[in-house]
Structure 1
Amino acid sequence: MKTIQPEELQAKLDAGETVHMIDVRESDEVANGMIPGAQHLPLGLVEFKHQELDKSKEYVMICRSGGRSGQACQFLESQGFDVTNLSGGMLDWKGQVQ
């Protein structure tokens, strides 16, 4: 599984790169803040809604610490998606949240 460090993701965002991010935390968790531009798709719905995602795009998966996003990465990889796990998740994210 590919991973990206929070600092690497921040650098991509600061450089104006288009990064497709999916936050798989629960609604009460994202209410406390998400990385700007991230899409919310709770882990429990990934299996049912993955067909709505675009296989031509690379996605960065985000959760609290990296465990649930890792599960989402494993599932999406098995379905043919290009996904990367945010190492350390939101616990290690020092950037802006909305």
Structure 2
Amino acid sequence: MNISTVINIAILLLIVWFLYTRLKPVTGLTNLKPDEFRQAIKTNSPGMVVDVREPAEYKRGYIPGAINIPLSQLKQRLSEIPQNKRVFLYCQSGMRSKSAAKILSKQGYAQISNLQGGVSAWREKLISKK
């Protein structure tokens, strides 16, 4: 084997590892379609709905009852999210909320739900702040 073959194999392994770490399932996470998410937040009271988008995105429109804890602030604001409640996460597309779910899972949160497709897939009315 020549050096270029070894380098190509190493690069391929890094790409596979990177994709796996980004796409692997999060322990305790349930991905819900918009209708399932809506029903779950109605029936799992007292759950907590968390919008992990940035404040400007949140102000443009959010799901009723959601609080805004941006992903960029999540680790510093964990004390605001009780571990004994089901946590419903969403963002714009579902990627940041999955990252938030990974953080919560590592901190011991066991009941986490994610809105598949994020608020972009949500067909219900959103509340906006001016």
Specify the alignment match of 2:35 in structure 1.
7
How well do the aligned residues superpose, as a CA RMSD in angstroms? 1.4
Following the alignment from structure 1 to structure 2, what is the Cα–Cα distance between the partners of residues 25 and 64? 7
Larger relative contact order (CA 8 Å, sep ≥ 6):
1
Higher helix share: 2
Deviation of 1:11 (Å): 2.6
Residue 43 of structure 1 aligns with an amino acid whose one-letter code is L
Q: Would you tell me which structure has more strand in proportion to its own residues? A: 1
Aligned pair in 2 of structure 1 residues 84, 17: CA closer, same or farther (>3 Å)? closer
Aligned length: 97
The correspondence of residues 56-71 of structure 1 with structure 2, limited to 5 A, is 56-71=84-99
Q: How does 1:46-57 map to 2 (within 5 A)?
A: 46-57=74-85
In 1, the alpha carbon distance for the partners of 2:101 and 2:67 equals 15
What is the CA deviation profile of residues 54-90 of structure 1, one whole-angstrom value per residue up to 9, with x for unaligned ones? 1100101110000000000001011011211111001
Match status 1:97 vs 2:126: yes
Q: TM-score, normalised by structure 1?
A: 0.90
Q: CA deviation at 1:46?
A: 0.4
Cα distance in 2, alignment partners of residues 39 and 96 from structure 1: 16
- Based on CA coordinates, which of the two structures has the bigger radius of gyration? 2
Aligned equivalents of 1:97 and 1:35: distance in 2?
A: 5
User: Is the aligned partner of 1:83 residue 2:112?
Assistant: yes
- How big is each residue's C-alpha offset from its partner over 1:1-36, in whole Å with a ceiling of 9 and x where there is no partner? 3211111122345x5652421000011111111000
| Residue of structure 2 equivalent to 1:28 | 56
Q: Is there any run of 5+ residues in structure 2 with no aligned partner, and where? A: 1-28
Q: Which amino acid aligns with 1:69?
A: S
Cα distance in 2 between the residues matched to 1:96 and 1:20:
19
